[in-house]
Amino acid sequence: MQVSRRGLLAGAAVGGGVLVAWAFLPRDFASPLEPGEGETAVDAWLKIASDGVVTVAVPQLEMGQGVTTLLPQIVAMEVGADWRQVAVEPAPVSSAYANIPLAAHWAPLWRPAVPSLADQADDWALQSWARDNRFTVTAKGTTLAAYEQSCREAGAAARSMLAQAAAERWDVPWEECRAENGVIYHNENAASFAELAVEAGEFSPPDPPPLQSEAPAEAGPLEGMAEREVPLQWPRLDLPSKVDGGHVFAGDVRLPGMVFASVRHGPHDESELADFDAGRAAGQRGLVQLVRGKRWLAAIAENWWAAEQALQEIAPRFATERPVQSAQIVEALDDALRNGPARIVEKRGDGAEDYAHDFALRYDIAPGLHATMETTTATARLAVGTLELWLATQAPEAARQAAAKAIGLSASDVILYPVAAGGSFDRRLDNQIAIEAALIAREVARPVQVTWSRWDEHAASYPRPPAAGLMAAETDDSGNIRTLRARLASPPTMREFGRRLFDNEVSWRAIDELEGEEGVFAVEGLAPPYTIANVSVEHAPVTILLPTAPMRGGADGYTCFMRESFIDELAARHEREPMSYRIAMLGQDALLADCLQRAARLASWDGGIAGSGQGIACHRMDFGDAAGRIAVVAEASAGEGGVRIRRIFAAANIGRVVNRDIALQQLEGGIVFGLGMALGCSTEYANGRPTHERLAALAIPTLADCPQVEVELVESDAPPFDPGEIGVPAVAPAIANAFFSATGLRLRRLPLLSALV
């Protein structure tokens, strides 16, 4: 299935053309792209057709982050294409698109036999594993780190081949030709890509291909120009189809003879379907049949509403030996925080040895739901030993493997057609729906679309982990921190998730086998960016019955809340101005100090004095050679309707910016997501079920709730950092600090207002 800019371009080019070679592609891989009519498939990344259309393959899931614009833009800038003639198609699952940087970062999760040989992106063992396992996972904002260089090389190769074709026509050196807006020029000579496409296929690009002298980047605003006033140079390719309704999401797939399924799942965790009375739904119009799984019941009908109504009438019963209870989770976290063994994950100087803290505070994090707009959905068709899946997934190969195993097929007999996700926030890293769709398709022997209700989306999905943290410091009389100790109690979520993803383990087995195992990923972001002589960051692993999963922003989403709230309380305790208190400790990170000053200027920062309603926080995230920095100022006001966030200002340094509009969208979206996580998106659990059944119960910000958001991007030529993650972490502490400024009340639990209930 091809997803393209509907109304502007048809995804794959028609007519004669050539698929341009990608030099990095190992020669023993088959071409991952299927040629269209009149096309020749040669390698992995792009096609140039005889009508001049440049089609770029994108191996990452489009879930609103703009990846189907970002990678084609890099190719277009490198090849010199006319943006109006650039199209995109989702790349098939292939070893050619292995996400090497993410595989290196997640090496502890897939547990290589010799870890030291597979924890760097240039390690042979790592690259071999990633390609053998078709590891094209979309996560951690790694698109540019994984694919920018390959896209540049593909574009440069295409440009050189087109230039060689033109140079032969004109009898000139091809190196003197230039490409611009889909045309090759040499002095007064000009020829379009369309004219040269077929001839270009007769030439080979130099090795290595000649890259443009400047890496892809968009210039910032001119002096006196606001960030949003910068002319839009590279509009998103997916916008036209999203505006006219033609964009294909998981729930939009329609096949001949298709039926629809709704599913009821048992409580967390290890529940089994006990019994149900099918006769209670006997009169349901449109009901086709029921399919019983070991831990779920599905109703299949001519339309989804009929299937859902049948399940409501049946109300299946489940048996659960150890249902999840929030009270038990709180007790386990509290015991681990106070008494549990912990491992020191990071230590600076003497750590916390022999220190005598004079200030200590506790912070708590409730489980958080992803709350995507589109609930979990997949379409499956099983015929003649081949399973076809239409699925929005961040881990396509893992989904293929899981579905194949569920119904006894080889993964080579599973065809996955990637479709866009209506939001994810890492929710689509899970493979439950692929397994269920495969099993149901086998039983009904018809194409079937499986869609979870909103209730089951909350009940059956895995939330962000709950946590409890202790922040303690030893200071001098002026409040300067001599020693900082950060202790976090939480489940080893990422290792549990890794066992589900890479080993296809059921949730309770992954939890049981990890009992007592530490999770380094759990404390990401807890170590301060500040210059503090002695620091100890500890993780106390907790075994709870609730399966948990990663979420947008990662652990930074709550560890930054703990750290930046604590720093603010230290500043207040010693009567220090919150911004200058932070800057005084940033002698080794002038760029983060610069972000603080820029955010303060945007917000007309008044020092966060009592009654001002202003709160400030900052954060830094690192991935490989890239670093993202952000400072956030939130403004809160108290009135008859309670405390409201009026405005949020942010200054972000994310290195070289490839597409400013997408970067701003992602930063603004991350800030709103962080607002949601600060004020809601959470639930308690009773008898294995979440207590919040609907979106309306999650206190997700509506348009009326969203404050004015103003973002400034700092100009930089450093390696690019993903804007989708860095926008989240500093929002919650900035809001908490703003609440204190507005009301004098400190809130130390996420979501913040739950502390008042």
C-alpha distances in Å from residue 60, one per residue of 93, 397, 402:
10, 12, 19
Q: What is the mean pLDDT of residues 644-671?
A: 97
In whole angstroms, give the CA distance from residue 158 to residue 160.
Answer: 5
Q: Where are the alpha helices (DSSP H) in 374-431?
A: 396-406
pLDDT on residue 201: 84
Question: How confident is residue 734, by pLDDT bands cut at 50, 70 and 90?
Answer: very high
471 burial via Cβ count (<10 Å: 0-12, 13-18, 19+):
buried
What letter does residue 466 receive in the DSSP assignment? P
Q: What is the mean pLDDT of residues 277-288?
A: 95
pLDDT on residue 225: 81
Q: Tens digits of per-residue pLDDT, 124-139?
A: 889 999 999 999 999 9
C-alpha distances in Å from residue 312, one per residue of 198, 288, 296, 449:
60, 16, 14, 19
pLDDT on residue 114: 64
Question: How confident is residue 29, by pLDDT bands cut at 50, 70 and 90?
Answer: low
Q: Is 606 helix (H, G, I), strand (E, B) or coil?
A: coil
pTM of the full predicted structure? Answer: 0.94
In whole angstroms, give the CA distance from residue 543 to residue 322.
Answer: 13
* Dihedral angle over CA of 605, 606, 607, 613, nearest 10: -90
User: Taking Cα atoms as reference points, which of 753, 595, 593 lies closest to residue 677?
Assistant: 753
Question: How confident is residue 616, by pLDDT bands cut at 50, 70 and 90?
Answer: very high
What letter does residue 289 receive in the DSSP assignment? E
Vertex 31: Cα angle to 27 and 37 (nearest 5)? 145
Q: Where are the domains of the chain?
A: 17-98+134-229, 250-319+376-451, 340-368+464-756
Q: Tens digits of per-residue pLDDT, 62-71?
A: 999 999 999 9
Q: What percent of the chain has pLDDT over 70?
A: 93
Q: Give, for 507, the enclosing helix (H) or strand (E).
A: helix 507-513
Q: Tens digits of per-residue pLDDT, 537-581?
A: 999 999 999 999 999 999 999 999 999 999 999 999 999 999 999
Q: Return the beta strands (E) in 12-67 as ranges.
A: 17-20, 46-49, 54-58
Q: Tens digits of per-residue pLDDT, 137-166?
A: 999 999 999 999 999 999 999 999 999 999
User: Taking Cα atoms as reference points, which of 265, 264, 263, 257 lies closest to residue 302?
Assistant: 257
pLDDT for residue 358 is more than 70? yes
Check residues 36 and 102 and name the one with the higher pLDDT.
102
CATH number of 17-98+134-229: 3.30.365.10
CATH 3.30.365.10 fits 340-368+464-756, yes or no: yes
User: Phi and psi for 454 in degrees, rounded to 5?
Assistant: -60, -40
pLDDT on residue 215: 95
pLDDT on residue 25: 43
pLDDT for residue 654 is more than 50? yes
Q: Give, for 305, the enclosing helix (H) or strand (E).
A: helix 304-314
User: Taking Cα atoms as reference points, which of 694, 678, 688 lies closest to residue 738?
Assistant: 678
pLDDT for residue 431 is more than 90? yes
Q: Give, for 86, the enclosing helix (H) or strand (E).
A: strand 86-90
User: Taking Cα atoms as reference points, which of 538, 537, 531, 539 lies closest to residue 482?
Assistant: 531
- Could you please state the CATH topology (level 3) that the domain comprising 250-319+376-451 is classified under: Aldehyde Oxidoreductase; domain 4 (3.30.365)
CB 160 within 8 A of CB 26: no
* Dihedral angle over CA of 482, 531, 563, 732, nearest 10: 150
Q: Give, for 361, the enclosing helix (H) or strand (E).
A: strand 359-365
pLDDT for residue 18 is more than 60? no
Ramachandran class of 593: left when φ > 0, alpha when ψ lies in -120 to 50, beta otherwise: alpha
Check residues 409 and 48 and name the one with the higher pLDDT.
409
Cα atoms in the Cβ-side hemisphere of radius 13 Å centred on 652: 36
pLDDT on residue 268: 94
pLDDT on residue 24: 40
C-alpha distances in Å from residue 737, one per residue of 64, 553, 607, 632, 743:
30, 20, 12, 11, 10
pLDDT on residue 753: 83
Question: How confident is residue 756, by pLDDT bands cut at 50, 70 and 90?
Answer: low
What letter does residue 420 receive in the DSSP assignment? B
In whole angstroms, give the CA distance from residue 648 to residue 732.
Answer: 11
**Fold equal for 17-98+134-229 and 340-368+464-756:** yes
Length of the chain, in residues: 757
pLDDT on residue 542: 96
Q: Give, for 78, the enclosing helix (H) or strand (E).
A: helix 67-79
Question: How confident is residue 31, by pLDDT bands cut at 50, 70 and 90?
Answer: low
pLDDT on residue 526: 98
User: Taking Cα atoms as reference points, which of 158, 148, 145 lies closest to residue 209?
Assistant: 158
CA 29 to centroid of chain Cα atoms: 28
CB 656 within 8 A of CB 220: no
pLDDT for residue 39 is more than 60? no
Parallel, antiparallel or unpaired: strands 708-713 and 534-541: unpaired
Q: Give the torsion sign (CA, 217, 138, 564, 643).
A: positive
pLDDT on residue 641: 65
What letter does residue 719 receive in the DSSP assignment? P
C-alpha distances in Å from residue 46, one per residue of 131, 154, 379:
20, 7, 28
* Dihedral angle over CA of 634, 638, 639, 641, nearest 10: 70
Mean pLDDT is lowest, of 323-332, 465-474, 700-709, for: 700-709
Q: Give, for 155, the enclosing helix (H) or strand (E).
A: helix 143-170
In whole angstroms, give the CA distance from residue 579 to residue 284.
Answer: 63
Question: How confident is residue 30, by pLDDT bands cut at 50, 70 and 90?
Answer: low
CB 418 within 8 A of CB 477: no
Across the chain, mean pLDDT equals 91
Spatial strand order of the sheet with 414-418 comes to 287-292, 296-301, 259-265, 448-451, 377-383, 386-391, 414-418
Check residues 377 and 322 and name the one with the higher pLDDT.
377
CB atoms inside a 10 Å sphere around CB 204:
12
